[in-house]
Amino acid sequence: MLLKRSGLVNQHIGLHLKLHPVSWVGAVFPEDVRPWEGSILTAVVNEFENLDGKGHGVKLEAMCMLPGWWLTSFPWTNGVDFKLFASRMKNMVGYIALARDKGSGTVYPDPKDGRVRVQYTVSKFDKKHIMEGVVANAKILYIEGAAEIFTMIPGLPAFVRSAHAAALDQGINDPAFQTWLQQVRTHGFPSADTAFGSAHQMGTCRMSTTPGTGVVDPNGRVWGTERLYVADASVLPSASGVNPMVTTMAIADLISRGIAAEMSAERGAQEELKARL
């Protein structure tokens, strides 16, 4: 929006928005977990990160479990259910399925007041991968001994492990659990009701080798504009295949070093010119 409000008209500004859409699965355990304590992102599963053979898929990650965020993340039914849900948080664990999205969205100004607006719908392609991640997370939680497993998908009942199943110790082959997993797949993500989270935001000033395909050149310079650079996650030409913090830092470092070198060269040229005069 800053570039648009400054008068730049490159058609790619604000397009190609990538959000690493996520859906998460939670579980209640018999023992106290106190999930808000300790480190976050302590474990990642990479097995499902290349489901299409072209680098698109999902990462399964342990997540931040702060009460103010976690307790507002699941479908609302009524006040009593929410109070019961909140009272059990000390026994809960949550995992996310984070997709490297192939689909994209747009950032644009509101036509009436100019405020920032975002348009993004998770594509069918990406929903398919996220579903695989949801199922995989549920299986992990079952193996870990969860007494109850639930999703953030509206209208989908939670799975409750029976004492009989625990005694048989069939693992994820528990018929009741397999039936529930099939319900998850059949239910899917109802487009009008299902909420997704955004893990990371990227791509709306994407880097390109030509002015007609992106917003900035390989040095971070805005095409067609002198002394204007972008050096953050918006220059990523596609969704990253990893959590992009280090990648963003590396890009910013590279672009800033280029700016410093360019400014140093200009100063050197000016000083040389002054010496000649």
pTM for the full model? Answer: 0.93
Tally of residues, the chain? 277
pLDDT (0 to 100) of residue 35:
94
CB 220 within 8 A of CB 207: yes
Closest by CA to 140, choosing from 172, 168, 165, is 172
Whole-angstrom Cα distance, residue 210 to residue 101?
A: 24
Catalogue the active-site residues.
Answer: 200
pLDDT (0 to 100) of residue 251:
97
Phi-psi region of 220 (alpha: psi -120 to 50; beta: other; left: phi over 0): left
Closest by CA to 128, choosing from 97, 159, 173, 95, is 97
pLDDT (0 to 100) of residue 166:
65
Whole-angstrom Cα distance, residue 18 to residue 41?
A: 21
pLDDT (0 to 100) of residue 243:
94
pLDDT (0 to 100) of residue 40:
82
CB 82: neighbour CB atoms within 10 A? 14
* pLDDT in 10s for each residue of the chain, 277 residues: 999 999 999 999 999 999 999 999 999 999 999 999 988 888 999 999 999 999 999 999 999 899 988 998 888 889 999 999 999 999 999 999 999 999 999 999 999 999 999 999 999 999 999 999 999 999 999 999 999 999 999 999 999 998 876 667 788 999 999 999 999 999 999 988 899 999 999 999 999 999 999 999 999 999 999 999 999 999 999 999 999 999 999 999 999 999 999 999 988 888 888 888 7
pLDDT (0 to 100) of residue 270:
83
